[in-house]
């Protein structure tokens, strides 16, 4: 059977319930997942500094890291919004970390430790400060890539012993760190879109580059794509992290009183024609083909229903 070129899940009003087992739904601490008429909400409320809280949707929790399903070339499209905008330390906003995209589950995992590999839309609120890109702030709503699992990494780690103290001097940081940034496949840019409004987020991950778009407008192109295998994740938690090239490293948890959430109405993964076989285990599993095709048809029917409700919108 020829694998489908689209993998689509549409959420809201129980629409995804017809396909049990598709997603792993994780609730830790004060984290929760709530179905709404317009989507699926990853929710946290009344979090504390003594307990980790997370609401998460993923497709890899039961897999070994080597069996994660996704590799370039592929495209991810997610329609989403948040309850709050980005906080800047002075104005209140979403607290903790949140986002969606592909990664190798390198952080807070029961699996063996590994170096980071990710391509995603990533949010971190103050006091998080992860200045991995020279020209990008250490917190905020970002499009980002990192791929530290590369042949040169052992040499980079050895050289960092002497380089880290030097990078405490701003002039030397600006001169030295860009080389490490390039070798580690780090590429970031602040997302120029209000987090608390509906937007269509797209990342096109090819063999040698990544393109990020919001509402059809390209906001970042990166010259390197993480190789994989990777898993798809969307999450909202209450942690923060400080990690800098000049040696600062700490993490902690944030308390929240108000309810905050990430709401997703649609996830679509598009596969290139070469994505079968070694490219993607999920799309090439014959047992899943019928479900994926049915899900795509279901999404098309949902779009037709929305168009019927809105005379100004034509069916897709």
- pLDDT tens-digit map of 248-267: 889 999 999 999 999 999 99
d(CA 122, CA 235) in angstroms, rounded, equals: 10
Tokens (6 digits) for 195: 């987090």
Nearest-5° angle of CA 62, CA 22, CA 73?
Answer: 85
The CA–CA distances, whole Å, from 84 to 90, 96, 98, 197, 225 equal 14, 12, 12, 9, 30
- Give percent helix, percent strand, percent coil of the chain, each to the nearest 5: 20, 35, 45
Note if the bond before 73 is cis, omega within 30 degrees.
Answer: yes
The count of other CB atoms within 10 Å of the CB of residue 310 is 9
The model's pTM is: 0.82
Tokens (6 digits) for 41: 């909400």
What is residue 154's predicted lDDT score, i.e. its pLDDT? 74
Q: What is the pLDDT of residues 85-106, one digit of tens each?
A: 998 766 779 999 999 999 999 9
Scanning the chain, the segments in alpha helix (DSSP H) are 153-166, 170-183, 286-309
What is residue 293's predicted lDDT score, i.e. its pLDDT? 41
d(CA 77, CA 59) in angstroms, rounded, equals: 16
C-beta separation of 140 from 190 below 8 A? yes
pLDDT averaged over 10-residue windows placed end to end, the chain, 316 residues:
62 61 90 95 97 96 92 95 86 92 86 91 96 92 93 73 80 85 93 98 94 98 92 97 85 95 95 46 39 43 43 33
Tokens (6 digits) for 208: 């040698």
What is residue 272's predicted lDDT score, i.e. its pLDDT? 64
What is residue 285's predicted lDDT score, i.e. its pLDDT? 39
Q: What is the pLDDT of residues 144-184, one digit of tens each?
A: 999 988 877 777 677 777 787 888 788 888 888 888 889 88
C-beta separation of 316 from 28 below 8 A? no
Q: Which domains does the chain have, with CATH numbers?
A: 6-150+185-309 (2.60.120.200)
What is residue 5's predicted lDDT score, i.e. its pLDDT? 61
What is residue 197's predicted lDDT score, i.e. its pLDDT? 98
Name beta bridge partners: 26.
56
Q: Collect all residues with Cβ–Cβ distance below 8 Å to 149 and sequence separation of at least 6.
A: 104, 114, 115, 117, 227
d(CA 184, CA 153) in angstroms, rounded, equals: 8
d(CA 119, CA 232) in angstroms, rounded, equals: 10
What is residue 282's predicted lDDT score, i.e. its pLDDT? 41
C-beta separation of 131 from 178 below 8 A? no
Q: What is the pLDDT of residues 184-195, one digit of tens each?
A: 899 999 999 999
Q: At what angle do helices 153-166 and 170-183 cross, to 10 degrees?
A: 170
Helix (H) / strand (E) containing 97: strand 97-103
The count of other CB atoms within 10 Å of the CB of residue 244 is 17
């Amino acid at each position: 059977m020829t694998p489908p070129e689209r993998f689509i899940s549409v959420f809201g009003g129980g629409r995804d319930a017809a396909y049990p087992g598709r997603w792993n739904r994780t609730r830790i601490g004060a984290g929760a997942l709530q179905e709404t008429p317009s989507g699926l909400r990853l929710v946290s409320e009344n979090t504390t500094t003594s307990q980790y809280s997370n609401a998460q949707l993923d497709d890899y929790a039961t897999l070994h890291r080597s069996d994660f399903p996704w590799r370039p070339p592929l495209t991810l499209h997610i329609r989403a919004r948040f309850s709050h905008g980005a906080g800047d330390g002075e104005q209140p906003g979403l607290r903790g970390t949140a986002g969606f995209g592909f990664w190798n589950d390198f952080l807070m995992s029961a699996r063996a430790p590994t170096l980071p590999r990710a391509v995603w839309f990533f949010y971190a609120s103050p006091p998080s400060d992860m200045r991995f890109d020279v020209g990008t702030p250490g917190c905020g709503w970002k499009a980002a890539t990192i791929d530290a699992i590369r042949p040169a990494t052992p040499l980079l780690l050895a050289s960092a012993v002497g380089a880290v103290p030097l990078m405490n001097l701003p002039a030397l940081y600006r001169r030295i760190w860009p080389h490490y940034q390039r070798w580690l496949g780090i590429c970031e840019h602040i997302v120029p879109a209000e987090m608390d409004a509906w937007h269509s987020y797209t990342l096109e991950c090819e063999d040698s580059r990544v393109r990020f778009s919001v509402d059809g407008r390209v906001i970042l192109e990166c010259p390197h794509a993480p190789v994989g295998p990777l898993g798809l994740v969307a999450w909202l938690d209450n942690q923060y992290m400080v990690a800098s090239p000049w040696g600062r490293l700490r993490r902690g948890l944030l308390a929240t009183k108000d309810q905050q959430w990430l709401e997703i109405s649609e996830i679509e993964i598009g596969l290139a024609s070469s994505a079968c076989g070694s490219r993607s285990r999920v799309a090439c599993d014959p047992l899943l083909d019928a479900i994926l095709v049915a899900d795509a048809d279901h999404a098309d029917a949902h779009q037709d229903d929305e168009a019927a409700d809105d005379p100004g919108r034509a069916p897709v």
